[in-house]
Structure 1
Amino acid sequence: MPAFPSTLPTPRTPPSMDAPPLRWGVLGTGWIAERFVASVQRHTRQRFTAVASRATGRAKGFAERHGIPAAYGSYEDLVAASDVDVVYVATEHTAHLVCARLALEAGKHTLVEKPLALDASEAAQIVELASARGLFCAEALWTFFLPKFDVVRQILESGVLGDIHTVLAEYGEHFTAEHRILRPESAGGPLLDLGTYPLSLATWVLGAPAEILALGQPHPAGVNGQTAAVLRDADGNQAVVHTTLFSDTPTSATLAGTRATLTLPGPFYQPGDLTLTPSGGGTTLTYTEPRTAHEALHHEAAEVARCVAAGQLETPLRPLADSLTTLRAMDEIRRVAGIRFGPGEAVLE
């Protein structure tokens, strides 16, 4: 077993500005698309050549705000454009499969906002199509591309935590009544938007669960309001995850091993601090980085550019197999808790 370190590792994340420039098209003009494009433009040499929305006016407004030369009122027109190398799918969850298929069938490398699809079956279709076409594809779960999470990755690889028996992770946020997360027809509820973060952390650390226990509570808007789940791996190790729309929570995470505990204060999935504490007490080591929130979205775009330039079809930082594992676990949570959602419905039975 390795000795407890005197210092924490430093991130191995290359500078985003060094990533080879590609030409990007954006499907969707919502909240995350605005932040993704702004961050990538400020911190990389990537070029946005086109944006599309089902409403031409929204596409034109987005293009004007971000200096993008082409605005389309059709997703089909954008993926057919000859000056687009990579398509970023930033639509609502219910359209991820359709839009990813459009991009891949048009021969474009594709980055799909998290989660990759509504469920594992849809995600598998995307993965299979990308493989068949020989195109890069990834889930834009930006957490795993952050420098902080490369420090987490190195800590896990070092074995300094010992045997990890416990993962605790949660994410709760309050939303106003008009937000799409409260709309059943948009596959609303916390699981896809918020729950992806604690669940992806749990499945990354412990792997695919062998058993899941879960409970849900409905929201007056007609969607699931909160869900708690316990995941057990084949060796009996456990993860406890929770997500809610009813209130703001600390949104923290803990990876507890037999030799040390890694703590990620909230919001754990964003840039920020982490601490490593030896079991039984002792000197706590702290990693600190600026809490830049979504300004750090550029890291995932830079990784896509590096992978595409190197001829890689996926990224080792968030392999497609990991995306599928998380969605399979989410499918099981929904089954056990009696939560149904999909195009046109998101209710708790």
Structure 2
Amino acid sequence: MPKLRAFVIGCGRIGSEFSRLAKLPGIHSHAEAYARHPRTELVAVVDADAHKARAAGRLWSVPSATDPLQAAREFEPDLVTLCTPDETHFPLARDLVKQGGLRALLVEKPLALKSSEAAELVRLCRRHKVALGVNYLRRFSPAFQQIRDELRAGKHGKLVLARFTYGKGLVHNGSHALDLLRFWFGEPASLRVTSTTRDPDGQRAYDAELRYPWGGRAVLTCFPESVATVFEGDFLCEKSRWQFALGGAQWRFFAKQSAMFKGYTNYVETPRRDHAKLFASPLKDCLSNAVDNLVLHIERGDPLLCSGEDGVAVLRQTEKLLA
């Protein structure tokens, strides 16, 4: 069976450069994920910046281009990953799908700047029979999937309180938190902005609260990116607690027990003995798994782990918060 032809549009950090810069094991760019997957062939890389395109082409030993639509006509990809600036996602994706020939399109988050545009793209892809995925990458991590499965099985009980710290704006990176909360706990009953400030770099920052039908809460706090890159979460449930830091690369687990005084219950750190390898390197295969998911969706109909509809749902949440 011939390999699926793929190319990447946008040769910045997540598109290509993180493969040079990463200090952790694993596959850290979309170009590398396609280049290393046994069922795909990276046939070209594309960037409006000719210097970036050529550098990525040299890194992966493939042709480079600056015009995505022309490149799609020339290289005839089955799969395209779009990792360009947020404001270009909708128009570029729309034009690529309309041009024809694609079997699957993976778009970096957010899917668009407006939920109406994202919904239009979902309809367009359905009409043209193009599988549409969004890269909220933690959905592609077996560790994050394991937590989801445990929550569904009742292992942790209901969420009581979740606390997220994020940077780089609500739509760009805060949406990762909104999507993960949705992945693990479902749709909130209500959501609201609790405070708004300006980061030292001038970007407006939003703190928010989500409430769930059973009474659980999630609190999002924005942290200035100019100080440090922060994306971390703390999840307190009825039966247990867990935390992650460094975007999900480091984890801690806690069990409920009476540790200090009789009659008082505490969350006491308790390293997991099961699935230890899963949580030791939880992010290293996310991009590879995203490609694998696209391939299996095309070849045998597996469901997409993060669909266009998921991207629309997150944008609708951000719009409610920013209204």
- When residues 249 and 66 of structure 1 are mapped into structure 2, their CA distance, relative to the original with a 3 A threshold, is closer
CA distance in 2, matches of 1:171, 1:117: 20
- When residues 208 and 40 of structure 1 are mapped into structure 2, their CA distance, relative to the original with a 3 A threshold, is same
User: Which one of 115, 121, 125 corresponds to residue 120 of structure 1?
Assistant: 115
User: Which one of 218, 229, 232 corresponds to residue 239 of structure 1?
Assistant: 218
Question: TM-score, with normalisation over the residues of structure 2?
Answer: 0.81
Q: Pairwise mapping of residues 1-349 of structure 1 onto structure 2 (< 5 A)? A: 21-34=3-16, 35-42=29-36, 44-68=38-62, 70-81=63-74, 83-105=76-98, 106-108=100-102, 109-172=104-167, 189-214=168-193, 215-219=195-199, 221-224=201-204, 226-246=205-225, 247-248=227-228, 251-261=231-241, 263-267=242-246, 269-275=247-253, 277-278=255-256, 280=265, 284-286=270-272, 287-288=276-277, 289-291=279-281, 296-311=286-301, 315=304, 317-335=305-323
**1:91 to partner: Cα distance:** 0.5
**1:272 to partner: Cα distance:** 4.0
The range that moved more, 161-170 or 245-254, is 245-254
CA distance in 2, matches of 1:230, 1:212: 6
2:86, 2:110 within 8 Å by CA — same for their partners in 1?
yes
2:5 partner amino acid = R
1:277, 1:285 within 8 Å by CA — same for their partners in 2?
no
- When residues 84 and 141 of structure 1 are mapped into structure 2, their CA distance, relative to the original with a 3 A threshold, is same
1:74 partner amino acid = D
CA distance in 2, matches of 1:146, 1:299: 8
Instruction: Please list the CA deviations of residues 201-231 of structure 1 after superposition, one character each: whole Å capped at 9, or x if unmatched.
Output: 222233333322212212354432x221001
**What's the secondary structure of 1:228's corresponding residue?**
strand
CA distance in 1, matches of 2:10, 2:233: 31
In structure 1, the residue matched to 2:23 is none
**1:307 to partner: Cα distance:** 1.2
- When residues 159 and 90 of structure 1 are mapped into structure 2, their CA distance, relative to the original with a 3 A threshold, is same
CA distance in 2, matches of 1:38, 1:257: 37
CA distance in 2, matches of 1:30, 1:60: 12
**1:82 to partner: Cα distance:** 5.1
Q: State how many pairs are aligned.
A: 294
Instruction: Please list the CA deviations of residues 184-203 of structure 1 after superposition, one character each: whole Å capped at 9, or x if unmatched.
Output: xxxxx522332122221222
**Structure 1: gaps (5+ residues):** 1-19, 173-188, 336-349
CA distance in 2, matches of 1:200, 1:37: 24
2:232, 2:248 within 8 Å by CA — same for their partners in 1?
no
**Structure 2: gaps (5+ residues):** 17-28, 258-264
- When residues 235 and 295 of structure 1 are mapped into structure 2, their CA distance, relative to the original with a 3 A threshold, is closer
**1:101 to partner: Cα distance:** 0.9
1:259 partner amino acid = K
Superposed CA RMSD in Å reads 2.6
**What's the secondary structure of 2:191's corresponding residue?**
strand
Superposed structure 1 runs of 4+ greater than 6 Å apart: none
2:60 partner amino acid = H
Question: TM-score, with normalisation over the residues of structure 1?
Answer: 0.75
**What's the secondary structure of 1:265's corresponding residue?**
strand
**1:43 to partner: Cα distance:** 5.7
- When residues 162 and 240 of structure 1 are mapped into structure 2, their CA distance, relative to the original with a 3 A threshold, is same
**1:319 to partner: Cα distance:** 3.5
1:218 partner amino acid = R
Give the structure, 1 or 2, with the largest relative contact order (CA under 8 Å, sep 6 or more): 1
**1:110 to partner: Cα distance:** 0.3
**1:295 to partner: Cα distance:** 6.4
**What's the secondary structure of 1:203's corresponding residue?**
helix
1:56, 1:72 within 8 Å by CA — same for their partners in 2?
yes
- When residues 167 and 52 of structure 1 are mapped into structure 2, their CA distance, relative to the original with a 3 A threshold, is same
